[in-house]
Amino acid sequence: MKQIAILLLSVVLLTGCDSKQKKSNDSDQLIEKISQQLEYFPTLEDTIDLGPRKLFFPRTLTKSGNLKLVSKRDWTSGFYPGVLWYMYRLTEKDQWKEKAELYTSLLESEKFNDSNHDLGFKMMPSFGLGYEMTKNESYKKVLVQSARTLITRFNAKVGSIRSWDHNTDKWEFPVIIDNLMNLELLFWASKETGDPVFYNIAVTHAKTTMKNHFRNDYSSYHVVGYNPETGEVISKNTHQGYADESSWARGQAWALYGYTMIYRETKDPVFLKQAEHVANYILNIEKLPEDFVPLWDFDLKDFNSEPRDASASAVIASALLELSTFTETEEEVYIDVANKIITSLSSKKYFSEIGTNKGFLLKHSTGSKPKDSEIDVPLIYADYYYLEALSRKKEINN
């Protein structure tokens, strides 16, 4: 009996080793495929010079399939440097680090850009990841100044950081659900400088958003308009969704990711509960489709004619993987769904054939369907959060 037990234990151990080896090989093959595809992205030789503006950063493809580059002022400009930094983390190859450093440096002057709330989106994937991996002190200085610039948009009466300065005919003081993502820069700055002002503003904004952006089922409006003099809520809209009362898919993804990150930085259980409520909405109330890539709005059900949004599922996957490390009850569920999203996004249906789509990784994302903008195309932030999800998956597996 003892010999049989030893034999069975050996079989189990060998099977486990084989399974780990297969997962490792599959991961290595995927990273190699990603590396090959990213070689087709533009270089600085492809820069478009418009005089006062230079277009460096890939954002998407045009309707005719041409590459669309944007300037450093675009809200998506930090994601390509972030893609490069994640490739350096995933491969440990200096070629990605060198390119990441180059494209990151092109964003430095944005640390003074107070014209919108998107400094977190720009600076954390670029200078933030760069500082995390290299401890370059010059990156730290850029990030701190960026945080100082961002808090100039905070209104104490409203309890929020103003989002857009445009559309003044619709909103006096608009705050969008996406703005949660920019709070990570403020939490980072508070830790690095010891200044509680950044932290307090971030927490106040998070609580204001939690109070006013969410419906009873924990789905979120896109835009809440405030009176800047009194802080009163004037309107609630879903600007990029199907209708004001509908559930814009990427908006729900921002909410899930945002409150997961906010809990990480505060350890306040109210934010963990909020993240879990949003996850429950996405996974159980609305439910993701069989391939785990939603339509651009959860309220739409016509999968034959309405476009998907791979960017929403990439953000959801990354958020669920982090949330799995905090939750006490749903860890396995979150990891399972995140892995299924990653598997789906890595399939032929959603991953670009090598050499196509100008180097973008993922197909079938949607920017703003109501504006007929960036529909069923690659988007740089979809690629960024996809790589972040792969990086987080690797950390959890290790």
Catalytic residue list contains 94: no
Percent helix, strand and coil across the chain, each to the nearest 5 = 55, 10, 30
Tokens of 104: 């990151």
**Which residue type does 390 have?**
L
What is the signed CA dihedral for 190, 73, 214, 274, rounded to 10 degrees?
-40
CA–CA distance from 112 to each of 32, 161, 191 (Å)? Answer: 38, 16, 21
Burial environment of residue 44 by CB neighbours within 10 A (0 to 12, 13 to 18, 19 or more):
exposed
Catalytic residue among 74, 178, 309, 383: 178
What is the signed CA dihedral for 87, 396, 389, 22, rounded to 10 degrees?
70
What are the b/e assignments for 91-100, b being 16+ CB within 10 Å?
Answer: beeeebbebb
Name every residue whose Cβ is closer than 8 Å to that of residue 88 and which is 6 or more positions away in sequence: 94, 96, 97, 100, 133
Catalytic residue list contains 244: no
CA–CA distance from 131 to each of 117, 122, 201, 326, 338 (Å)? Answer: 21, 14, 23, 25, 27
Catalytic residue among 49, 74, 114, 118: 118
Return the active site residues.
118, 178
